[in-house]
Amino acid sequence: MPEPTHEPQDVSAGALRGRGPRLSARPIPRRTVLRGAGVVLSLPWLEAMARADVPAAPLRAAWIYVPNGVHLGKWRGEEAERPAVGARPFDALPPLFAPLARHRARLQILRGLGHEKARANGDGPGDPARAAAVFLTGVQPLKTEGRVRLAASADQLAARAVGGATRVRSLVLGVERGRVSGQCDSGYSCAYSGHVSWESETVPAAKETDPRRAFDALFRGGNASLSPEARRSRIARRRSLLDFVRAESKELGGRVSARDRARIDEFETGLRELERQLSFDGAAHEPAVEDGSRPGARPRGFAEHADLLGDVLALAFEADVTRIATLMYGNEGSGRRYRELGIDEGHHALSHHRGDGSKLDAIGRINGLHAETFARFVDRLAETRGEADASVLDRTMLVYGSGIAEGNRHDHHDLPIALCAGSGTGLGGGRTVVFERRTPANDLHIELLRRLGVGPVPLGDGRGPLPGLA
Amino acid sequence: MRLYAGSVLRSPTALLVAATAAAAPLVAGAEEVPAIGRVGTGSADPVLAPHAAAVGPRAFLDTYCVRCHGPEGPRADVRLDAGALGPDPLAALEAGADEDALDAWDWILEQVELEFMPPPGEPEPGAELRAAFVGEVRGALARAQGDPAALPLPRTPLRRLTRAEYEHALRDLFGIEHAASGLPEDAVGHGFDHVGEAQSLSEQDFVRYLDAAERAAERIVGVRRDPARVVRADAAQIRADRSRDDGAWLFSNRTAWGRLSIPRGGVYEVRAEVFAHQAGDEPARARLHFDGGARSDAFDVPFERDAPGVIRAELTAPAGGDVRVGVRFTNDYYLPATEDAPAIDRNLAIRWIEVRGPLDDAPLGAFAAEMAGGEGAGPLRAERALRRGLVELARRVWRDPALVARDVDALLALTERAQPPDERLRAAVAGLLVSPRFLFRAEEGRGPLDARSSRSLTSVETATRLAAFLWQSVPDPALLERASRVDLSRESQAVRCALDMLGDPRSEAFVDSFGAQWLQLRGASLARDGVDGAPGIDRAEAARMLEETHRVLLDSLRERRSLWDLVDGASSVIDAALAERYGVDFPAEAAGADGWARVSLEGTPRRGLLGHASVLVHTSEPGRTSPVLRGKWVLEALLDSAPPPPPPGADSLAPSDETKDLSFREQLELHRADVACAACHQRMDPIGFGLESFGPLGEVRDAVDATGVLPDGRAFDGPLELIAVLREDDRFLDAFVARLATYALGRGLERADRAFLDGVRAGLDPEHPTFERAVLGVVASQTFRRVRVD
């Protein structure tokens, strides 16, 4: 484990790094544009930023999910329905990717990737639920309204294997909360359509939808009003509390049935997570990240909400608090009404457009709003200084896509998936890459896992790392 | 006898596939959309069977089903032919049926009995053959499944407190209103957010519980020694005579105020950086003070602009919150300019004001004081009191009256003995709230096992189930006390207790939670923009629409009204604005102080829940009604018979040259002619058509075609006739009981629950079935009062 040779003298900068099993401690760049409240702020100059001995920087990965498929014409541009296999440099960027024009050289639009397990395969209707569940797992979800069964997702495998190097193993974010009543999707539990990130067969990773809470959890120890003194005493208190709850949980676990024991086990994974946080000094507090970047309480409209979540994620990458993330721009099957675009009808209902021109147009505009939001996130990563004078984007891999291709057809082959990755990741750009039809989308995830340094792991129906992306 | 199929069978297609797959491999991949079969006529007129009268179930299936549901048919995803189900399907069923096969046959039975199948345009068996088939299947099913009352009691998976239950628990145990907003999200399963099977805990979730417990403990115990915090107002935020770049200036004997936020009243250090434009024979002078508090002595301020100085004082703030803290200029001095000399002017400038604190200990809160043996108790006495108090507290919070002193040792061991009692108490309360004994509702029962592998709940466990069911909370101290005084696991005691709990205002949370989730209205956004200058629905009115539904349900329970009023009641509880929207007179003199009254709807087409604006708006698209959504809502919510969603791609209402001039209704009718769509749409659409008299904002509109024909041939024109048809059979009551039972048990219903459901249903007075009776029927049942143990 490389240790910095110059220990920073500033106490607050020291607290930044904790004492946990961390592989690298990256200096905080001075010029950090924080968009939190529409104000541009800079981080204060800290000793930590002056360090020259930066160890080989890690890679980061984030998967961004968009629901209800996309307007394929605008996503693919002039592309043929079935283009020839191989890589082809962009002529003109497809219309939806116009906001990403400045990152054109870092962008690859992938064709031919699909998710066989999102098809019914005998399970009947429920494509939206399956689309989200399968996106990062490649495993067919069990059709049930009760106890779910799926598999650990790619991001969570990465979080388990390499996420331990940072204080937070992975960030799981989303713009929409789970549904609060009614039927979710044709007998599928709501957990499926609301989560692409799964810790295990039975546990979807808790998704944070409130940017301010996400910020506080990452940078303010979960409670922005605590003084440093109170935070310190809380660490000690939590240590003893942890031992206490462990004993309590063991006692209860001995009394319940084997089935219920699984619930207690889930509860105990939370105890281990707390233990991990405490090993990082329970710090969870980054004084270098200033209050000015703390998001407002109630974002209005999609763009503001998604921007704030993107800002928190960018800050987390920048401060190297985490390296793995998922961000859902909507739950699959989302019926959000994009009134800011003058669109009153719900997104999902629109996606069943039946060829209706005005509905297709509305779908295209919603997709455009999502793409612009994604582009602002990429811009932000590109503008922020990361390791060794490069941008944060330089060593970041971003997957942007949906588990449904065309909403009206609910199809899951040739999915809209794009890859945007900095030059430090070794991934190429500036082109469309067409794979054999029915190439599992999981192969892409396996390739990213490989680059992240995750050992070979089985992942759903994936066959192996996807070649041809370098 | 049968029914409840809708709730027990969530996914009929999948189940049928499972059942048929057991007998023969499927030919077609079910995900391929079945090719479209023959286009039907949409007519309800029976088409004569082409074959001679079918005899026996095999012949019935062959004659009326297998053309589509055979190996080569368009619906081969659901196979009913001899190759799949055998030459004598019912014999096979009786010989050995698993749960899936039983469910599949239930579904077949429902499809045929309710005349959903065969679809319109296909050969029609006629009443006699239909009845014979139904009778045979029902008999075989009854024999195959044996006595439902002898099946093992379904398991109730371990449940954790939902967010609402957690908040209510803090209220009922500690008397605080505390929004626990950071708690884990409650996943919805079987239509409700407290179903154990659907709840899982992510690794992030324990920290969320911990945060919530620590915050709650601070609220409950109070914080004596706040960590001192610093807040500051800069010159620009200080109100003075003039604000300049170099400071906030006072030109006369006045106070410059900074507005700051402090946690509570108490002692604070107040500092201010100041300087003056000196003049006259003494330096400028200033005092510091909180608004409404005592002033400090006057300070000399001999400082000049290039070297400002800091004055400081310890002052008592009278109260916390947003307070004003001031710097008062006390010796203004001014000589106007004369011909000989310029003006002499002494002025004071403030660069910032800072407040640090609180520096003192807050008084011990009442709760903490009592737990620590009174304010100022000695350490020994305080320790003894703390231990005694914690035992009492733990018995309540952990719902364990048998708990003894050594069980709280671990809570006391969270802190050192030498720490102040409030700190020890805060840690212990956080420990109580983060223990799985509080967060989970484990049930072990007691007494002998019965033939259903179940045993009786304990009295306290029964109280806990009742509190979750009827208060959306945990037992409060009074209920726990009752549970130790009388045996609530006995039927009569449980029912009596439930009746008392329904009379408590807290049962309103039950009505709200159950009602809003049952009717799918929770979180519904009913606000609508107006179209073409017509008024829409603003947020306030949207809230009132939801309130109407809530009040009607509450009234149904409290006033013991007939449940049928929810279907065809000719009155509702509304306010004057809703009365105007509904076009009925609002008797102001009958309204309660809050402006709501029960109002007659006679003379309008509005009846029951289907007349509520909340329901009508929620099931409309912006700007237009949706007969499909409305029909689907009626099937799901009122009849508990959810249709599966459309097969992807098959639902093309594509505007083509032939159809573009048709009305939406005509397009839908064309759509229903498509066999693949007909099975569901022939059930949904007519119901929605019958409600076409209500516009997308819930308003009555005239001159609309509101006719419809149900699959069984019953025809109606308008909401009143539709509702009369819905009223003809008992499905609504079955559905209501099934949803209520799901809510009460916090789990999905199973086959083994049928006897229980039938029992609750039979307990309703056919002349006057009530909400209250249904609740008490559930509570009285063995299913509610026993727990599966194995």
Question: Where would I find the H helices in A319-460?
Answer: 347-351, 357-383, 441-452
Could you please report the per-residue DSSP string of B49-64? Answer: PSSSPP-HHHHHHHHH
Q: Which residue has the higher pLDDT, B110 or B764?
A: B764
> What is the pLDDT at residue B6?
38
The pLDDT score that the predictor gives to residue B595 is: 92
Is residue B417's pLDDT more than 60? yes
So what's the pLDDT on residue A310?
97
Q: Give me the half-sphere count of Cα atoms (radius 13 Å) on the Cβ side of residue A82.
A: 4
Cβ pair B104, B15 in contact under 8 A: yes
Q: Which of A49-58, A393-402, B410-419, B663-672 has the lowest mean pLDDT?
A: A49-58
Interface of A with B in 348-387 (CB under 8 A): 349, 352, 354-356
Q: Which residues of B189-199 are buried (b: 16+ CB within 10 A; e: fewer)?
A: bbbbbbbbbbb
Q: pLDDT tens for residues B645-667?
A: 554 444 434 434 444 556 667 76
Cα distance from A85 to chain B (closest Cα, Å)?
26
- pLDDT value of residue B618: 94
Cα–Cα distance measured from residue A221 to residue A372, given in angstroms and rounded to the nearest whole number = 32
Does the pLDDT value for residue B455 go beyond 70? yes
pLDDT, position A146: 80
Q: pLDDT tens-digit profile of B353-369?
A: 999 988 887 777 778 87
Residue A389 above 80 pLDDT? Answer: no
At B787, give phi and psi (nearest 5°): -135, 140
Q: What is the pLDDT of residue B14?
A: 36
pLDDT digits 0-9 by tens, B238-274:
999 998 989 999 999 999 999 998 888 889 999 999 9
What is the predicted pLDDT for the residue at B176? 87
What burial class does residue B243 get, using C-beta atoms within 10 Å of its C-beta: 0-12 exposed, 13-18 middle, 19+ buried? middle
**For chain A, what is the mean pLDDT?**
83
- Give mean pLDDT, residues B529-551: 88
Would you state the pLDDT for residue B365? Answer: 74
Of B648 and A302, more confident:
A302
Instruction: Give the per-residue pLDDT at B673.
Output: 61
pLDDT tens digits for range B554-575: 999 999 999 999 999 999 999 9
CA A89 to chain centre: 28
**What is the three-class DSSP state of B186?**
coil
The model's confidence at residue B619, banded by pLDDT at 50, 70 and 90, is very high
pLDDT 10s digits, B568-605: 999 999 999 999 999 999 988 888 889 999 999 999 99
In angstroms, the CA A450 to CA B761 distance is 59
Those residues with Cβ within 8 angstroms of residue B786's Cβ, 6 or more apart along the chain or in another chain: B153, B445, B450, B452, B454, B455, B456, B457
The per-residue pLDDT for A180 is: 63
Rounded CA-CA distance A344/B31 in Å is 32
Does B745 contact A at CB distance below 8 Å?
no
pLDDT at position A6: 36
Residues 408-467, chain B, touching A (beta carbon < 8 A)? 410-411, 413-415, 427, 430-431, 434-437, 439-440, 442, 444
* Residue A96 tokens, joined: 């939806």
Distance CA B757, CA A218 (A): 49
- Cα–Cα–Cα angle for B312, B316, B319, rounded to 5 degrees: 130
Which carries the bigger pLDDT value, residue A353 or residue B732? B732
**What pLDDT is stored for residue A181 in this prediction?**
58
Instruction: Return d(Cα B77, Cα B533) in angstroms, integer.
Output: 50
Q: Rounded mean pLDDT of A320-342?
A: 93
Q: Which amino acid is at B385?
A: A
Distance CA B113, CA B731 (A): 13
Of B17, B206, B747, the CB nearest to A274: B206
Q: At B458, phi and psi to the nearest 5?
A: -75, 170
Structure tokens at B22: 């057991």
User: CA torsion sign, B781 to B782 to B784 to B785?
Assistant: positive
Query: What is the structure's pLDDT at B656?
Result: 42
Burial class (CB in 10 A: 0-12, 13-18, 19+), A138: buried
B738 contact partners, CB below 8 Å, separation of at least 6:
B4, B6, B7, B640, B749, B757
Percent of chain A at pLDDT > 90 equals 56
Q: Which of A321-330, B315-324, B412-421 has the largest mean confidence? A: A321-330
Query: Could you identify the residue written with the tokens 């008999």?
Result: B139
Position B37 scores a pLDDT of: 29
Span A209-222, mean pLDDT? 89
Please report the residues numbered 379 through 438 in chain A whose beta carbons come closer than 8 angstroms to any beta carbon of chain B.
408-411
d(CA A443, CA A466): 5
pLDDT > 80? residue A41: no
Which residue among B29, B155, B190 sits closest to A145, beta carbon to beta carbon?
Answer: B190
Minimal CA–CA distance to B274: which of B348, B331, B333?
A: B348
Q: Model confidence at B227, in pLDDT bands (50, 70, 90)?
A: low
Whether ipTM tops 0.95, in short, is no
Q: What share of chain A has pLDDT > 70, as a percent?
A: 85
Query: Helix axis angle, B477-485 relative to B491-502, nearest 10°?
Result: 160
Q: Which residues of A touch B646 (CB under 8 A)?
A: 125
What are the φ/ψ torsions at residue B522 (nearest 5 degrees)? -65, 130
Contacts (Cβ under 8 Å, ≥6 apart) of B582 = B572, B574, B601, B604, B606, B611, B613, B700
In A, minimum Cα distance to B409 occurs at: A244
Is the bond leading into B358 cis (omega within 30 degrees of zero)? yes
Average pLDDT rounded to a whole number, residues A311-316: 96
Q: For the stretch A67-86, what's the b/e string if a residue is b when 16 or more beta carbons lie within 10 angstroms of its beta carbon?
A: bbbbbbebbbbebeeeeeee
Q: A375 pLDDT exceeds 90?
A: yes
Q: Which amino acid is at B759?
A: G
Q: A with B: how many residue pairs have Cβ under 8 Å apart? A: 251
pLDDT at A284: 62
Look at residue A53 and tell me whether its pLDDT is greater than 60.
no
- Closest by alpha carbon to B199, among A271, A138, A267? A267
How many residues comprise chain B? Answer: 790
Q: Residue B713: its pLDDT value, please? A: 81
Q: What are phi and psi of B772, to 5 degrees?
A: -60, -45
Backbone angles phi, psi at B187, to 5 degrees: -75, 145
3-state secondary structure of A264: helix
Q: Strands, DSSP E only, in B137-219?
A: 159-160
Name the CA dihedral angle for A139, A140, A144, A149, rounded to a multiple of 10 degrees.
-20
The answer to whether A333 and A348 have CB atoms below 8 angstroms apart is: yes
Q: Pick A123's closest partner by Cβ from B14, B196, B646.
A: B14
Question: What span, in angstroms and rounded, lies between the C-alpha atoms of B261 and B670?
Answer: 67
- Cα–Cα distance between B125 and B412 in angstroms, integer? 76
Q: Please name the residues in contact with B697: beta carbons below 8 A apart, sequence gap of 6 or more.
A: B528, B536, B537, B613, B617, B620
pLDDT of A213 higher than 80: yes
**How far apart (Å, rounded) are the C-alpha atoms in residues B397 and B174?**
9
Do A178 and B188 make contact, defined as CB atoms within 8 angstroms?
Answer: yes
Q: Which residues in chain B (335-374) have CB-CB distances under 8 A to chain A?
A: none
For residue A24, pLDDT beyond 50: no
Q: How does the average pLDDT of chain B come out, rounded?
A: 84
pLDDT-based confidence at B392, cuts 50/70/90?
very high
**Rounded mean pLDDT of A208-224?**
88
Where residue A96 falls among pLDDT bands split at 50, 70, 90?
Answer: very high
Going by C-beta distance under 8 Å and a sequence separation of 6 or more, which residues neighbour residue B129? Answer: B53, B54, B60
B30 neighbourhood in chain A, CB within 8 Å? 120-124
pLDDT of residue A34: 33
Look at residue B95 in the predicted model and tell me its pLDDT.
80
Q: pLDDT tens digits, residue range A79-93?
A: 666 788 999 999 899
HSE on the CB side for A34, CA within 13 Å?
23
Query: A212 Cβ partners below 8 Å, 6+ apart?
Result: A294, A295, A296, A297
The answer to whether B755 faces chain A, any CB pair under 8 Å, is no
Reported residue count of chain A is: 470
Q: Could you list the beta-strand ranges (E) of A157-275.
A: 171-174
d(CA B636, CA B645): 12
Q: Give mean pLDDT, residues B17-25.
A: 37
What is the reported pLDDT for B276? 95
The one-letter code for the residue type at A321 is V
CB–CB of B649 and A189 under 8 A?
A: no
Which of 51-110 (A) contact B at CB < 8 A?
none
Q: Which residue of B has its CA nearest to A119?
A: B31
- Decide: helix, strand or coil at residue A24: coil
pLDDT in tens, B323-334: 999 999 999 999
Overall average pLDDT of the B18-29 stretch: 35
Mean pLDDT of B461-469: 98
Indicate if the alpha-carbon torsion angle B335, B339, B341, B343 is positive or negative: positive
Residues B672 and A443: their CA atoms lie apart, in Å, by 42
Q: A385 pLDDT band (50/70/90 cuts)?
A: confident
User: Is 60 exceeded by the pLDDT of residue A44?
Assistant: no
- Does pLDDT of B33 surpass 60? no
pLDDT category at B677 given cuts 50, 70, 90 is low
A chain contacts of residue B216, beta-carbon cutoff 8 Å: none
Strand partners, A41: none
Summarised one tens digit per residue, pLDDT across range B141-198 is 888 877 767 788 999 999 999 999 999 999 999 988 888 878 888 888 888 999 888 8
